[in-house]
């Protein structure tokens, strides 16, 4: 498939893909991001598009991207120590900054103690603040695998930090 033909598909089906994503996630910003992810994935696999079934193929990719997003929403709710948001315009007290830093160091050490395959995924996503998509590219793993390994890694971290007792239970 040529780039021009693919560009025509984007123009023709952009609204359809956005609508599918929005109907599932009910968030305009997320639907826009998922629309871009859909077309990026379609472009990377453009040679697999069945001739005459472009609309259905793009619709299925969009639905799968939205479902993956919804499934990963639960793992994104995990709040690790130091991640709590401050109200706008307020700076945390110096003691709190020091506690957060010590908590961050404990988390860093806990991540380094994780076994494979969770250690590199958690290091990239939690310490280096990379997206799961970026981590997938770096590690050469499917994005869905990264999402799963990140969720399991967070669970292992939570259990490890709760066992250490330094922070008490970690909220979800």
The reply to whether 109 and 150 lie within a common domain is yes
Q: Is residue 87 part of a domain?
A: no
pLDDT in the model for residue 74: 53
pLDDT in the model for residue 71: 81
pLDDT in the model for residue 76: 55
Q: Is residue 120 part of a domain?
A: yes
| pLDDT tens per residue across span 84-123 | 554 444 554 544 444 455 566 777 888 888 888 899 998 8
Q: Is the pTM of this model over 0.75?
A: no
CATH number, residue 160: 1.10.10.10
Q: Is residue 169 part of a domain?
A: no
Considering 73, 104, 128, which residue would you say is the last residue of a domain? 73
- How does DSSP assign the chain, residue by residue? --HHHHHHHHHHHHHHHHHHHHHHH--HHHHHHHHHHHHHHHHHTGGGPPTT-HHHHHHHHHHHHHHHHHHHHHHHT---TT-PPPPTT-PPPHHHHHHHHHHHHHHHHHHHHPPTTHHHHHIIIIIS---HHHHHHHHT--HHHHHHHHHHHHHHHHHHHHHHTSS-SPP-
Q: How many domains is the chain built from?
A: 2
Q: What's the mean pLDDT when you consider all of the chain?
A: 80
The reply to whether 116 and 68 lie within a common domain is no
Considering 17, 44, 73, which residue would you say is the last residue of a domain? 73
User: Is 162's pLDDT higher than 90?
Assistant: no
Q: Is residue 83 part of a domain?
A: no
Q: Is residue 102 part of a domain?
A: yes
CATH number, residue 15: 1.10.1740.10
User: Is 82's pLDDT higher than 80?
Assistant: no
Instruction: Write out the residue range of the structural domain in which residue 30 sits.
Output: 3-73
Q: Is residue 119 part of a domain?
A: yes
The reply to whether 99 and 160 lie within a common domain is yes
Q: Is residue 121 part of a domain?
A: yes
User: Is 7's pLDDT higher than 80?
Assistant: yes
């Amino acid at each position: 498939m040529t780039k021009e033909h693919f560009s025509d598909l984007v123009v023709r089906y952009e609204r359809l893909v956005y609508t599918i994503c929005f109907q599932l996630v009910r968030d305009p910003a997320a639907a826009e991001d998922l629309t871009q992810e859909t077309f990026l994935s379609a472009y990377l696999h453009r040679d697999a598009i069945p001739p005459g079934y472009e609309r259905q193929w793009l619709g299925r990719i969009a639905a799968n991207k939205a479902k993956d997003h919804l499934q990963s929403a639960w793992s994104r709710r995990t709040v690790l120590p130091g991640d709590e948001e401050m109200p706008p315009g307020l700076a945390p007290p110096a003691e709190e900054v020091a506690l957060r830093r010590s908590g961050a160091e404990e988390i860093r050490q806990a991540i380094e103690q994780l076994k494979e395959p969770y250690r590199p995924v958690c290091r990239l996503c939690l310490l280096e603040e990379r997206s799961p998509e970026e981590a997938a590219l770096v590690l050469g793993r499917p994005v869905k695998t990264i999402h799963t390994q990140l969720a399991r890694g967070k669970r292992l971290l939570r259990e490890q930090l709760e066992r250490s007792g330094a922070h008490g239970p970690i909220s979800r």
